[in-house]
Every structure is written in structure tokens, then in C-alpha cells.
Amino acid sequence: MQLRKVIRIRALLLAKTGLRIGMSRDQMAIGDLDNPVIRNPLTDEPYIPGSSLKGKLRYLLEWSLGGDYILKAKERHVYASPDPQDPVARIFGLAPENDSKSLEVARQRGPTRLLVRDAYLTPDSKEELERTIARGGYLTEIKQEVFIPRLGGNANPRTTERVPAGARFQVEMVYRVLDDLDEAYFGKYLMRALELLELDGLGGHISRGYGQVYFLHPGKPLEAQEGLDLKERLEIQEVALAG
């Protein structure tokens, strides 16, 4: 097993609708938001954790493949395929059980192929979003919603923070190619997961209109990319390794 090359994917992720990736909160003060977004603790800017993006891609690919990914996932948190050629486990990684059979499968499968970086706001998008400061948020919008119980009918207001539609984040992924199967899986499965993400969404409250995203090529004019195939809207660079 040898690392042949890496495939680097760069893109801008455009939030076509409000995007909300929440953070956990142990304590709340009076006047705090009910549902804040996750922020970089050094800059206080909202960002997309690589774990959120990678996890959603994996989830969508598993659902598109169906079968044991769905049925047997009920027994464990993640379905652990016994096949070393399993596409989900090869692309996204899988922690093996601590028994000799699982460890042997993990040895044959090799390392996780896909790395997903945290995605941060582009400088021009941050500049555009700074106008939101005057409306009470910092690079975000505060959306007021009302929950009405089916019985009783009394309205319960709640506040939700989200990144406004139009924001753009810099996405970078690295895909490791160790053999011919990895080469085939890149086009067959990883590209499928990215296409599904555009059809589904990212973050919370997708069924209520949040989280629609669209990939854009970072080196092409934004207005010329609407309607292009996904692969044309990604910057894909193959880096061969010497030796």
C-alpha cells in the first residue's frame, strides 16, 4: 500500500438560503439567543466545521446506498462493514472494533481517504456581512420564529441565529489515492455525495428552508457558473508524488 497521489478540491460554498450550524451551550444568560451558530473562538466569525461537512456527505452517501448502511446502523452508531473495499469506510474512515477480525479488515482497508478542512468566510463575503452588525448580529442574522403548540395555541417566540443567504465560505478537501479502486471511488461516490449535498442541504432546519448550498469555482466569475455541472464548478487539482 503506497500513497500514489492526492486530489485537492477547492471551491466556494455559497449559502443560497440562511445557513445554521449550531453550537452546544452549557449555560445561557438572560437575553441570549436560543440557537446560536458556531463561531471561531479567536475571531468570533461563523464558520463551517470540517466535521459537519464531512459528516453530512457521509450521511447522504450512506442513505443513497441504502441496505446495510441503514438497517444495520441501528445496531451501532455507524455501520462497520466487514468488506475492506467498502466505499464509505474507505472514503470517510472507520474506527475498527478491538478484535482480530476487525483489525485485519482495517489493515487491508488502509487510512481514511478524505480529509475535509474547516471552511471560513471569504474576505469579500465577510466585508459584505459586516453590515449586519448594525442590525444586532455579527456577520449573521437573527431570525425570529414562533412555535405554536397544537393544543392550547399560545405562541412561544424563539430566536435563531444563522448566516445570511449569499455568504460564501472557502472549502478545501484532500482525497488520498492509494490504488485504482480509490481512483474509481472518487468519481463514483465522492462526487455523488457532493451532488446530493446540493440537493439536500447543510446544517439545521433544512426542512424549513435553511441550508441550501451551491458550490462555485473559486477562479471563475460567479455569475457565469449558474447551471454548470458540479465538476465544472470545482477546482480539482491532482498532485502526483515523486518516487
How high is the pLDDT of residue 144?
Answer: 81
Question: E strands along the chain, which residues?
Answer: 5-15, 114-116, 120-121, 141-147, 156-162, 168-177, 213-216, 235-240
At 107-137, the pLDDT tens digits run 999 999 999 999 999 999 999 888 777 666 6
Give first-to-last CA distance, the chain, whole Å: 14
| pLDDT band, very low/low/confident/very high, at 194 (cuts 50, 70, 90) | very high
Q: Which residues of 170-194 are buried (b: 16+ CB within 10 A; e: fewer)?
A: bbbbebbbbeeebbebbeebbbbbb
pLDDT of residue 100: 85
**14-70 tens-digit pLDDT:** 999 999 998 766 555 555 666 889 999 999 999 999 999 999 999 999 999 987 777
- Please give the average per-residue pLDDT across 220-226, as a whole number: 87
- 114: cell is 478524505
Check if the beta carbon of residue 60 is closer than 8 Å to that of residue 193.
yes
Q: What is the pLDDT of residue 211?
A: 95
Which pLDDT tens digit goes with each residue over 140-192?
Answer: 888 887 777 777 667 777 788 899 999 999 999 999 999 999 999 999 999 99
When comparing pLDDT for 200 and 240, which is higher?
A: 200
pLDDT score at 139:
87
Contact status, residue 239 vs residue 5, Cβ threshold 8 Å: yes
80-116: b (≥16 Cβ within 10 Å) or e: bbeeeebbbbbbbbbeeeeeeeeeebbeebbeebbbb
**How much is the pLDDT for 216?**
96
Residue 36 pLDDT:
86
| Phi and psi, residue 155, nearest 5° | -80, 135
Identify the residue with better confidence: 227 or 24.
Answer: 227
Cell representation of residue 153: 395555541
Provide the pLDDT for residue 168: 96
